[in-house]
Amino acid sequence: MTTTKQTIYYTLTDEAPSLATCSLLPIVRTFTAAADIDVKISDISLAGRILSAFPERLTEDQKVEDGLSFLGELTQDPDANIIKLPNISASIPQLRACIAELQSQGYDIPSYPEVAHGDEEKALQVRYGKLLGSAVNPVLREGNSDRRAPAAVKAFVRKFPHSMGKWSKASRTHADYMRGGDFFSSEQSVTVDKETDVRIEFVAKDGKVTVKKELQLEQGEIIDGMFMSCKALREFFEETLNDAKESGVMWSLHVKATMMKVSHPIVFGHAVTVFYKDLFEKHGELFKELEVNPNNGLGSVYDKISSLPRSQREEIEEDIQACYATRPEMAMVDSVKGISNLHVPSDVIVDASMPAMIRSSGQMWGPDGKQKDTKAVMPESTYSRIYQEMINFCKTNGAFDPTTMGTVPNVGLMAKKAEEYGSHDKTFEMTEDGTMRIVDAAGTVLTQHEVEKGDIWRACQTKDEPVRDWVKLAVTRARQSDTPAIFWLDPERAHDMELAKKVETYLQDHDTTGLDIRIMSYDEAIRLSMERQIRGKDTISVTGNVLRDYLTDLFPIMELGTSAKMLSIVPMLKGGGMYETGAGGSAPKHVQQVEEENHLRWDSLGEFMALAVSLEDMGIKKNNPRATVLSKTLDQATGKLLENNKSPSRKTGELDNRGSHFYLGLYWAQAVAAQTEDKELANLFAPLAKTLADNEDTIVGELSAVQGRPAELDGYYHAKRETVKRVMRPSATLNKVLASAHQ
Amino acid sequence: MTTTKQTIYYTLTDEAPSLATCSLLPIVRTFTAAADIDVKISDISLAGRILSAFPERLTEDQKVEDGLSFLGELTQDPDANIIKLPNISASIPQLRACIAELQSQGYDIPSYPEVAHGDEEKALQVRYGKLLGSAVNPVLREGNSDRRAPAAVKAFVRKFPHSMGKWSKASRTHADYMRGGDFFSSEQSVTVDKETDVRIEFVAKDGKVTVKKELQLEQGEIIDGMFMSCKALREFFEETLNDAKESGVMWSLHVKATMMKVSHPIVFGHAVTVFYKDLFEKHGELFKELEVNPNNGLGSVYDKISSLPRSQREEIEEDIQACYATRPEMAMVDSVKGISNLHVPSDVIVDASMPAMIRSSGQMWGPDGKQKDTKAVMPESTYSRIYQEMINFCKTNGAFDPTTMGTVPNVGLMAKKAEEYGSHDKTFEMTEDGTMRIVDAAGTVLTQHEVEKGDIWRACQTKDEPVRDWVKLAVTRARQSDTPAIFWLDPERAHDMELAKKVETYLQDHDTTGLDIRIMSYDEAIRLSMERQIRGKDTISVTGNVLRDYLTDLFPIMELGTSAKMLSIVPMLKGGGMYETGAGGSAPKHVQQVEEENHLRWDSLGEFMALAVSLEDMGIKKNNPRATVLSKTLDQATGKLLENNKSPSRKTGELDNRGSHFYLGLYWAQAVAAQTEDKELANLFAPLAKTLADNEDTIVGELSAVQGRPAELDGYYHAKRETVKRVMRPSATLNKVLASAHQ
């Protein structure tokens, strides 16, 4: 594989980010061209992925490159430089809608067979299956994670802080988690000293052995086995419900059913059947017939009973209501519509819901539409303790103050599907009592657990190479930012102790003179980080994959009000770099606003920041000093944009995404013109800076004039490029200025 | 000064402990005699101290030795071995009662002049002044403090745990403290590198300098200056009251007006005048005339208005009631009698009240006689944070479990009036705005604070020799008990940072190989200690004087239900040892029960334990192996006594202090007879063991037979020895057995 050596690959994704790209890229290219850098589009949109999956059904004209495969290969290239925007993690309804749109555009793509009849349809299901869900990240994230709040964003927040709900010292809110019987307490962990094949086996009570899965482990790979007791989990739920009822606090459940897509829906389902115990006891038989799946939430009950005769349905609905009389108040997702915390498993996602709650005075919304203190139930104790620590901290010290608080960047172990986040295909719900064990090729039992029917057993893998790279990244970040770094490793957790051995070994590969690098339990680490934070001090969190995910929402939401403003870098194992932008998805609601009112509120701040580090990296690796100048000046421009409040407004008629791009271009050009490192470059951009400034009113006027009326995009998943271009670049003046730049 | 080299000095004190001594000593001497150890009485009772203060007014027969002066000198003797029982810290009413009793017994002692007229009475007041308050401890505590829970007591508690109130995870209880303007935030600290004289000066706004105090500092002595802002304190009280009112939790105040006898009554007084703001505003002039002193609590108001005409008094009483409508509920000392937290400054003492609250589910008693969550107000943030830490810990992990928890012994810096606890004579309430400073002989300003009228300024001293000894004691205890030791030193506290330098230096004087000795902030230290504790692990707390005092109540009350069961050793700077027994005073209520029902519920457990370490020390220092055997066997006897539940009952008719002493003697004799280290000694005690066992029923019967009727002691402060002996040794059989032992 060869790549042009001075190329930034910019992903074309879906929905709002893809619209924004159409406006932003022409501006960006005006700058990068001056440094001989090409910015190439790589299409990883859902539509693009579908089309590239069926080349044999398309005409030559219709065929598209498989952008994801291309980028997947590129991750192995030391020169890779990728800017990755948010994309759709497709659900089945989204997949079907996209297929229908493509078909209507004349693409001969087969329909998705929801129930597969025959081998052909089964094969088709498998083929489409690869496009579903989080299909992109596992391919591209061939490195660990470096996430931080850029200085410009911190400066902006210090000036324009987001709201933070006051904490009462007498708050009743708390986290509640299992004290035994969970994954944490059963975890066993082994590092294999040489390459080996292992079998995950179930041994039934009668001695019969079933191989559940076979794995190939690399030398130095860590493998964990653990389980959650169904009985202990259900007892725990019952206790928390009784305790909440007794003490008068609201009850809420926080899991991550989207990411932990095998284990957490089951956990969620138990919460549903324990909360609505009387309902499920009374109607158990009927629900079985109706194929009610509690793992899909109470919504599944409402869904399945909708076809029943009215009287029968009403009886069940009354029985649902009756449950509320014996149970504590439950946190609501939408109290007006009566959508509770147990309605759908994907509505309350721990890494988003807990920071939101902590930011809102430790409260959630009750059935009466009022904010209330709550018991936040997070069964698995491994990670939930960090939330209790922060809750206690806020009770003691009050809400965090964004204008003075320090920052907690993260260096996260992520590469090669590390830890729990790669465990989906190794997670099993037990169908009978017996023993789960992991056995290596020599027959040695590596882990072993007595399990009961209903227990959730899982194995997790952590390869050695990513760990080594993660330690290196931590040292590098500590050195570059002159900031203490803490490895969050719990001495009471089997897996972490295996990891700690590696950390201690690999730290010796680096010069750590003058650095403050420590290993601490999660409790100690978060506490120290917070103590430092309220004194304005920064602390790098160096964590495993799950904490990476949780902390890069938790701290940013306190510090910045959102995690979307974080800089997210994936330094690839092979030397390349990926720069992720934003968080929180691809914003379908924003597209709707464009279609109805031609106003795009998408904030490209993430793209600005990602581009700056992408350029910075290119400057260093390719010895391209102009890239370095462009990087620095882009950061200055972003800072000025934030300071002057030229981010997109949510309101139609005010500055939107396109206007914000104009100001970025203006400030960037001015910054390049003003810098003295590269006089020639300054001279090159001085005219552009002047022209843009002179035409500010005209351009902003043209951009705002189009707003307020519907905009036709000619497609949603696969909108026509020309139409999108017309909509997203409506300022003739700006287009002309860009076209004639540097001439 | 010469002392008999094989002597234990046993203090004769007051009230219940002195009665117990009369019964216990004959038994003890039966054992110590066999090791050639003399147990001598040294009278430090209030009556004894008064008599020894006026030798010129007494006949030769009446004259007594000055026991306290004798022991004070003895503390400088490397061979000193003192067992110190609780004594009366005399208030003025107690002093007057004691004088009256002595006068009635024919002692020509002058009365105490409450208001002094003329030089003679003034001189008398000064003479009596030395006997008031905590007059004994400063003389005897010529060393640092080593306090721990004896193994036998821990074993007993694991078998018979005290009650622990359940903690709700949703508890609203919390500690509240100042975030600025307190002693903590203003503390300045300096170590003088050579002997010097310093002046504490006030510089008025007009430049006039007043010397408030002159001090001589030793080489290496630490001197601190700090102040509490009156304005900040009053604002803080107002805020806590509003916050409690708003959030609906009860309000409570926790200070230590007894020990911090200058600063804390003033702090308390501000709480009173802020809580009853409307009352003091309305009746300010009248209260001034009446000499109402809010520092003495609301009780002072009730006291002073009692002489007013009824209508006027009733108006004020109504105005008091009106205050309660605008204020939060207040914690009560006695809800039946309407005695609130603000009634008297000595009723709620932080080091006792906070552990009691934490042990009682984090609740105190409300005006309605119900237990409730409370805001625990402790203005000075220096130490109050440890309570918040424990509260958060209990909310998170539930109440401590005495049957499984580890122990936190204390090594406390105490010698030579270290730190705040020696600051009374260097504490000043400002009467005008200006500057407080400490200036050395060369004119160098060591500390300087801008102060306002009403602010409380204080200086604290910490001498070098005690610090050096304290570090040594910490290392010794860590080594002897093979337990990690944590120096609690706050990096954000000026004084602690001076201390930390010394600790780091003096640690190098010792072999710390293999020891786990750390320096941590209070928050970190208590958190780690608690985390270890709930996992059954022990951690030595090495602290300054105030934390010594607080922690030796806090942890014992969780671990043992009381601090009275702690072993308290003062290894003297000069090499001797003092063994303190019990805590919680000399129990006047116990004496009352004896007078009415001839039942003494005083528990001599503290004396048993102190005697065991006293003997252990003698065994080592004097190379007296029999003392060692007696020490070991006494510990065994104490363990058996606890296990067989032969401690005194509170109920008349059941086993009391005297019966408990009998069982100690029995078990001790049996243990000596059973040991094999010293066969001769075993043989010597075998007959005693047999005789006591044979006569168990008779002796216990005789001891119990006297109960239920009044007992006349012929005096309270200075009861007749012969009468006390008759009352406290009523078993003719036991007396006969002891008299004829070893013959």
B-facing residues of A in 171-200 (CB < 8 A) are 171-174, 176
Residue B345: strand, helix, or coil:
coil
- List strand residue ranges (DSSP E) for B164-313, in order: 174-176, 188-191, 196-204, 209-217, 222-228, 250-253
pLDDT digits (tens, 9 = 90+) for B539-558: 999 999 999 999 999 999 99
Alpha helices (H) in B360-490, listed in sequence order: 381-397, 464-481
pLDDT of residue B584: 63
Residue A440 CB coordination number (10 Å): 18
Residue B98 C-alpha, separation from nearest chain A C-alpha, in angstroms? 48
Q: Note the pLDDT tens digit of each residue in B497-507.
A: 999 999 999 99
Burial class of residue B423 (count of CB atoms within 10 Å of its CB; 0-12, 13-18, 19+): buried
* Tokens 């490195």 -> residue: A143
Q: How far is B322 from chain A (nearest CA, A)?
A: 26
Which residue from B742, B666, B648 is spatially nearest to B704, judged by alpha carbons? B648
Return the DSSP state at B726. Answer: H
Buried b (16+ CB within 10 A) or exposed e, B352-374: bbbbebbbbbbbbbbeeeeebbb
* Chain A residues touching B396 at Cβ < 8 A: 174, 388, 392
Reported as a single tens digit per residue, the pLDDT across B356-415 is 999 999 999 999 999 999 999 999 999 999 999 999 999 999 999 999 999 999 999 999
Contact A414, A176 (CB under 8 A): no
Rounded mean pLDDT, B82-97: 88
Report the alpha-carbon distance of residue A447 to residue A442 in Å, rounded.
14
Read off the pLDDT of residues B134-192 as tens digits, 9 standing for 90 and up: 788 889 989 999 999 988 899 899 999 999 999 999 999 999 999 999 999 999 999 99
For chain B, give every domain's residue range: 7-142+577-739, 229-348+359-371, 403-417+463-571
Mutation for A interface: B171, B172, B246, B388, most A CBs within 10 A: B172
Nearest to B379 by CA among B217, B523, B530, B179: B179
Where chain A has pLDDT below 50, the residues are: 1-4
Q: Which residue of A has its CA nearest to B240?
A: A169
Question: What residues of chain A lie within 8 A of the CB of B527, using their CB?
Answer: 523, 527
User: Of B170, B248, B249, which has the smallest distance from its Cβ to A174's Cβ?
Assistant: B170
Give me the residues paired with residue B253 across strands. B377
When pLDDT is averaged across residues B232-244 and rounded to a whole number, the result is 98
For B540, the enclosing helix (H) or strand (E) is: strand B540-543
pLDDT of residue A584: 63
Q: Does B598 touch chain A (CB under 8 A)?
A: no
Per-residue pLDDT tens over the stretch B451-487: 999 999 999 999 999 999 999 999 999 999 999 999 9
Q: Render pLDDT for B19-43 as a digit per residue (tens, 0 to 9).
A: 999 999 999 999 999 999 999 999 9
In the structure encoding, which two tokens stand for residue A554, read together? Answer: 């938790």
Torsion of CA A608, A609, A614, A620, to 10 degrees: 120
The answer to whether the CB of B296 falls within 8 A of the CB of B265 is yes
The pLDDT, as a whole number, for residue A472 is 97
B395: contact with A, CB 8 A cutoff: yes
What is the interface pTM, i.e. ipTM, of the complex?
Answer: 0.89
* Alpha-carbon span A298 to A272, nearest angstrom: 7
Q: How does pLDDT run across A449-507, given as a tens digit for each residue? A: 999 999 999 999 999 999 999 999 999 999 999 999 999 999 999 999 999 999 999 99
Mutate which of B173, B246, B392 to disrupt the A interface (most A C-beta within 10 Å)?
B392
Residue A86 burial by Cβ neighbours in a 10 Å radius (0-12, 13-18, 19+): buried
Tell me the three state secondary structure of residue A216: strand
User: Does residue B2 have a pLDDT over 70?
Assistant: no
- Contacting residues of A for B328, CB less than 8 Å apart: none
pLDDT tens, B402-457? 999 999 999 999 999 999 998 989 999 999 999 999 999 999 999 999 999 999 99
- Classified by CATH at the fold level, domain B403-417+463-571 comes out as Isopropylmalate Dehydrogenase (3.40.718)
Instruction: Kindly determine whether residue B375 and residue A169, on different chains, have CB atoms separated by under 8 Å.
Output: yes
Residue B91 among known ligand-binding residues: no
Q: What is the pLDDT of residues B281-326, one digit of tens each?
A: 999 999 999 999 999 999 999 999 999 999 999 999 999 999 999 9
Task: Give the closest residue to A373 by CA, choosing from A242, A555, A248.
Answer: A248
| A617 marked as binding residue | no
Structure tokens that stand for B323 in this block: 């205050």
Give the span between the Cα atoms of B143 and B74, in whole angstroms. Answer: 12
Q: Which amino acid is at A312?
A: Q
Q: How many CB contacts within 8 angstroms connect chain A with chain B?
A: 56
pLDDT at B211: 98
> Residue B65 and residue B440: Cα distance in Å, rounded?
41
CB-based burial label for A318 (10 Å; 0-12, 13-18, 19+): exposed
Instruction: Tell me the shortest Cα–Cα distance from A374 to chain B, in angstroms.
Output: 9
Q: A375 and B170: CB-CB below 8 Å? A: yes
Distance from CA of A448 to the nearest CA of B (A): 25
The shortest CB-CB distance from B174 to any of A169, A388, A531 is to A169
